[in-house]
Structure 1
Amino acid sequence: MSLFDTDENLQRIGTLLTAKAQAIFRERSVPTEQFGFVLLQPAPDGGRPKGAALRPDWLSYPCSLVKVFFLVAAQAALEAGHLTEHEELDRAMRDMILWSSNSATNYVIDLLSGTTGDTLLSESEMAAWMDRRQVVNRFFVQLGSPGLAGINLNQKLMDDLRYGREKIGLDRSPAGHNALTPMAMASLMHAIFHGSVLTEARRVKVQNLLARDLASPFRQRGAYQVTGYLAGGTPEGTQIWSKAGRTRWLGDARADFRRHDALRAVLPNGVEFILTVFSQGEAIAEDDGFLPQLGSIAAKEILTL
């Protein structure tokens, strides 16, 4: 079952997004199939959203978009009593979203899974280690959402290559690297703001951590993920909740050169939309103008609906 109902107006906007992206990709000699998106307009009454999509089931290395999944899993573990609230966990959850810190994310993964990295383990210990690393996958499987089918969330976030048990765990993982689809990301963003993935209080905490301010003095810092990303193309006065991710060269072709973003925007007139974009290619990963152009198209067109 699809996450959304098709809508003529959003399909038209989706066609504009596709045309702009494909023109940029061709200009930079990047294959156009290395682009996908999901555009949603949530229903005011809490019903099914309207939407449009291109390659919504494209399974891709997701960069830092997975951090939203780890945040939701951590909040659920806190609610269930599997984790204990403490200052370092709060700081890590904030920094893995606000600044996209890999170190903070890996601390959260250690707490969720009861694992650490580094030195080698015996065969039996390594098997147990890999099984514990499936904890976040198991959490999202039990949610039963068809939009989350096929994703993988069992690897830490690295700035380059892996070593020791992290390398062995990746090589032995049937799913390989972390992987998401535009649909999975859109599904989780919609659930955070319009679903029941967590208790109300926990969802509010997640929402607050995802919030970004277009007037922030940090806006020009790349780590704030506004300049160079979808939010950078939205008009002043737009309320933003987002999480982006980018990789350059990592020494691993399975993960190199991605630029993704997941945005929830409430425009100055109060109209809301969710847009998730996945892209791959060195020229795109290095292009700070690509995603803002798509964000601008979506915002301008939805303002006219």
Structure 2
Amino acid sequence: MFLTQTPEWQTLGESLRTAMLSLFAEQGLSEDNFALVVLTKAADGSAQGFAHRGEDPLYPCSLVKSFHLLHALAALEEGRVEPHGELDRALRDMIRYSSNTATNYAIDCITGTTGDTLLQGAEYLDWVSKRERLNRFFWALGWPEWEGANISQKLMDDTRYGREAQFAGAEGANLNALPPLAPARLLWELFHGDLPLSPPVKARAQAILRRDPRGAEADNPAYQTCEFLAGDLPAGVEVWSKAGHNLWTGDAKTSWFKHDMARFAAPGRRPLTVVLMTQGQALAQQHPAAFPAIGRLIWDMSEEITRV
């Protein structure tokens, strides 16, 4: 694991977990329906923090879009994908507004596949192999945190049909999954690590993930800020994030999830990376103020340990 849990972080993490369970039980938070990763860059340059259920593969909703963003940018830089305006627009909109249609266009461009109608035999196996490029790109990075991950499925607003249903499996055995430590590792590598991207391309990815919690779009639900972890942070905190949010989809395995992966930075403090993944109708639909309150709690409780 790239993350070191020092005694100080273990103490803070357990305090955070206890406080969250106490303060947000009435909003639906329970021991077994959330996972949390919190980390910062220590003085020696290493990643130090805390993880609760960090290695459990969970249905990730739109958190996968941050992975597709970096893969697409790498493919463009390597010449595996031809640059064009529609792809630029899709990469922007799949992050800024969490567009599933934009994401699926980017997936088609990266993998050379299309979806929907049924396929059989060798044609289907060839299609699966191409789609699995999405996973192979990250397996090749050698991250232990990728164990149990799968991002090969397209993003759907409801149930799947045709080859997309074939690929997901009759019982959803091949649905997308991410251990919470995987998105934490992604943000760490983008800002502090050794991703196979040039500095200008890293800067482009960071710019696309940048949020303005008090900007003109902050109240737009599709912008996924005001009802997520950054929604109640103090003025002046910089935010980079990608959320995931599913209500009822027609499939119990993909319904009622709310997640966020975010990086917060402010003067006088080391940047803080937070990944929160939750399941349940109460948190996903009935209590939109819970995530902003949790984000503020994490920010406030981590002040001492992140102070420069």
TM bucket, shorter chain? over 0.9
Work out which of the residue numbers 135, 138, 161 in structure 2 matches 1:163: 161
3-state DSSP class of the match of 2:81? coil
**CA distance, structure 2, for counterparts of residue 188 and residue 54 of structure 1:** 17
**CA distance, structure 1, for counterparts of residue 242 and residue 266 of structure 2:** 18
Q: CA deviation at 1:12?
A: 3.3
Partner of 1:87: 85
AA matched with 1:195:
G
AA matched with 1:177:
L
**CA distance, structure 2, for counterparts of residue 29 and residue 240 of structure 1:** 26
State yes or no: 1:152 paired with 2:150.
yes
AA matched with 1:280:
Q
TM-score by length of 2: 0.93
RMSD: 1.8
AA matched with 1:192:
L
Partner of 1:281: 280
Structure 1 unaligned blocks of 5 or more: none
**CA distance, structure 2, for counterparts of residue 118 and residue 192 of structure 1:** 33
Q: CA deviation at 1:214?
A: 2.1
Select between 2-11 and 54-63 the one with higher mean Cα deviation: 2-11
**CA distance, structure 2, for counterparts of residue 188 and residue 51 of structure 1:** 15
Q: CA deviation at 1:220?
A: 1.2
Partner of 1:229: 228
**CA distance, structure 1, for counterparts of residue 236 and residue 32 of structure 2:** 34
Runs of 4+ in 1 over 6 A off after TM superposition: none
Q: CA deviation at 1:223?
A: 1.2
TM-score by length of 1: 0.94
Q: CA deviation at 1:255?
A: 1.1
AA matched with 1:117:
G
AA matched with 1:102:
N
What percent of counterpart residues are identical? Answer: 40
**CA distance, structure 2, for counterparts of residue 24 and residue 254 of structure 1:** 27
Partner of 1:50: 48
Q: CA deviation at 1:267?
A: 2.1
Select between 167-176 and 197-206 the one with higher mean Cα deviation: 167-176
**CA distance, structure 1, for counterparts of residue 230 and residue 94 of structure 2:** 18
State yes or no: 1:98 paired with 2:96.
yes
Q: Are residues 179 and 56 of structure 1, via their aligned partners in 2, closer, same or farther at CA, if it must alter by over 3 Å?
A: same
**CA distance, structure 1, for counterparts of residue 12 and residue 218 of structure 2:** 27
**CA distance, structure 2, for counterparts of residue 73 and residue 270 of structure 1:** 30
State yes or no: 1:21 paired with 2:38.
no
Structure 2 unaligned blocks of 5 or more: none
AA matched with 1:184:
A
8 Å Cα contact 1:269/1:303 also seen in 2: no
Residue-by-residue CA offset, 1:213-251 (whole Å, 9 max, x unaligned): 122111111111111111113111000000001111111
Q: CA deviation at 1:15?
A: 2.3
8 Å Cα contact 2:63/2:244 also seen in 1: yes
